Amino acid sequence: MTTKQELIDGLNQDLAHEYQAVIAYTVYAAEVAGPFRPALREFFLAEAADELKHAQMLADKISALGGVPTARPAPVPQATTPRAMLEAVLAAETETILRYTRRMAQAEEAGELALVAQLHDMIVDETHHKEEVSKLLEGFPE
């Protein structure tokens, strides 16, 4: 059985990764270069806004559960080419979906049914992000 503290700790891990995503997308939007810059910059900025909403939801929930939201991001992967940026994003989205799936099970065990629904919606968002990045990588030049 998942304790409330275990759930808070897991949500803080998730929050740190959402901060990481916001930072990565922001940096990638600033640094992306080459013929695909306009489209990728717009894509990265839109994704950053989505991830910021996820971060706010997680911080609010941590606080509501009696915890203190972390203020530290997970390490941001460095990438210097557009392809490397997209590959880093794909890896992060894949990891996030797995983490949120685990967190949903913990939330259900802890009786936090509203959180289960919120995490489900976030998994839908992250899956969409993953699918879009996968499509962008198809045939993308090295």
pTM for the model stands at 0.95
Q: Would you say residue 142 lies in a domain? A: no
Q: Would you say residue 124 lies in a domain? A: yes
DSSP H or E stretch at residue 106: helix 82-109
Q: Which of 132, 140, 104 is nearest to 2 (CA)?
A: 104
pLDDT for residue 139 is more than 90: no
- Structurally, how many domains does the chain consist of? 1
pLDDT for residue 142 is more than 90: no
Q: Would you say residue 13 lies in a domain? A: yes
pLDDT tens track for 75-100: 999 999 999 999 999 999 999 999 99
Give, to the nearest 10 degrees, the angle between helix 37-64 and helix 113-137: 170
| pLDDT value at residue 140 | 84
Q: Would you say residue 34 lies in a domain? A: yes
Q: Would you say residue 53 lies in a domain? A: yes
Domain of residue 129 covers 4-68+78-137
Tell me the CATH number at 21. 1.20.1260.10
Q: Would you say residue 35 lies in a domain? A: yes
Residue 34 is given by DSSP the state S
Taking the C-alpha atoms of residue 65 and residue 83, their distance in angstroms, rounded to an integer, is 39
Q: Would you say residue 73 lies in a domain? A: no
| pLDDT value at residue 74 | 97
HSE of 61, CA atoms in CB hemisphere, 13 A: 27
Record the tokens describing residue 80, joined without a space. Answer: 């210097």
